[in-house]
């Protein structure tokens, strides 16, 4: 019975972040009595937009921000509207938690994934800056995402506050600290050398996997930039983890085998194991599932319950 429950549990997470069977958002708004802001601009680029669902409350409410996946090179905020999982957003709203889903710019040759991470940061700061207008409790904001979105969420959660207090832009002066982090199919680090060490992958195979990730981008320019220690220090959150970081919830799929492709490598369950070990050593509250390698949190707590417990 326990095994059956967790098969259902994991399948429900895989459905949550699929790009398939997206519900038409307009039809939902007509049916449900929610206050929804579509395509709010949080920056200057055309992809700097978000949707915001406001919980019907007379007081400022907590907020969950969803960051879509897609390898930092594809995807959209509409992936939050997966047909069989839209009830999850309703669940948040019914429990007095507002919800946002964001678009962001994609990786490039010049600053790799930093452009995507910085967009996620600005979206968070924008919503904090507008907290009174949108009735958001700026002290209770969580971030969640799958794959690349999980990376962005962990980056926001584990880096120290990145507010620029002397900036002329009031949005940049807002805190980037969050109350909780949820990562589905998360990597434990963005230092690819540590991925290689994690599974003892030989360099030739590693180069092949990295080439898949780079795609049509300039390989030499990309590698020269993204494997430099200075750059890694800007994007890698693992060494930034400390005892003051927020609680985190991680689910990774699959067994302990050699990755077939870069996505398989990024989502490998060993990432979850390392994150749990690090969180436990720092006494950071965490709920981690990687059933393919035997990691099942003793609480059996699900994603919704974790979010509600740590935001309310």
What would the pLDDT profile of 103-157 be if each residue is shown by its tens digit? 999 999 999 999 999 999 999 999 999 999 999 999 999 999 999 999 999 999 9
CA distances for 20 relative to 25, 82, 85, 217, angstroms:
14, 7, 11, 27
Count of structural domains within the chain: 1
Which residues neighbour 259 within 8 Å (Cβ) at sequence distance 6 or greater?
A: 199, 201, 209, 265, 268
- Domain carrying residue 83: 2-311
5-14, 66-75, 100-109, 266-275: which range is least confident on average? 5-14
What CATH number has the domain bearing residue 111? 3.40.50.1820
The per-residue pLDDT for 5 is 39
- pLDDT by residue (tens digit) across 160-194? 999 999 999 999 999 999 999 999 999 999 999 99
Closest CA to 106 of 91, 94, 119: 119
């Amino acid at each position: 019975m326990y095994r059956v429950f967790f098969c259902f549990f994991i399948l429900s997470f895989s459905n949550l972040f699929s790009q398939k069977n997206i519900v038409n958002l307009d039809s939902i708004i007509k049916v449900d009595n929610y206050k929804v802001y579509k395509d709010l601009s949080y920056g200057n680029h055309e992809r700097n937009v978000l949707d915001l669902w406001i919980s019907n409350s007379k007081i400022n409410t907590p907020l969950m921000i969803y960051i879509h996946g897609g390898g930092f090179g594809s995807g959209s905020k509409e992936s939050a509207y997966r047909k069989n999982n839209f009830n999850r957003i309703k669940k948040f709203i019914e429990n007095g938690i507002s919800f946002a889903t964001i678009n962001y710019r994609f990786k490039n040759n010049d600053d790799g994934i930093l452009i995507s991470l910085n967009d996620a940061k600005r979206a968070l700061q924008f919503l904090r800056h507008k907290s009174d207008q949108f009735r958001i409790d700026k002290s209770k904001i969580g971030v969640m995402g799958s794959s690349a979105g999980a990376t962005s969420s962990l980056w926001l959660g584990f880096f120290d506050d990145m507010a620029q207090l002397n900036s002329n832009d009031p949005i940049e002066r807002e805190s980037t600290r969050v109350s909780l982090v949820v990562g589905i199919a998360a990597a434990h680090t963005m230092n690819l050398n540590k991925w290689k060490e994690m599974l003892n992958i030989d360099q030739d195979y590693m180069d092949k996997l990295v080439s898949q990730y780079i795609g049509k981008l300039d390989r030499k320019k990309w590698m020269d930039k993204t494997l430099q220690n200075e750059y890694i220090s800007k994007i890698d959150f693992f060494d930034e983890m400390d005892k003051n970081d927020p609680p985190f919830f991680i689910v990774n799929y699959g067994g302990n085998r050699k990755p077939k492709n870069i996505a398989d490598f990024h989502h490998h369950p060993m990432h979850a194991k390392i994150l749990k070990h690090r969180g436990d050593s720092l006494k950071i509250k965490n709920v981690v599932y990687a059933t393919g390698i035997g990691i099942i949190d003793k609480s059996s707590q699900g994603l919704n319950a974790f979010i509600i417990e740590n935001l309310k």
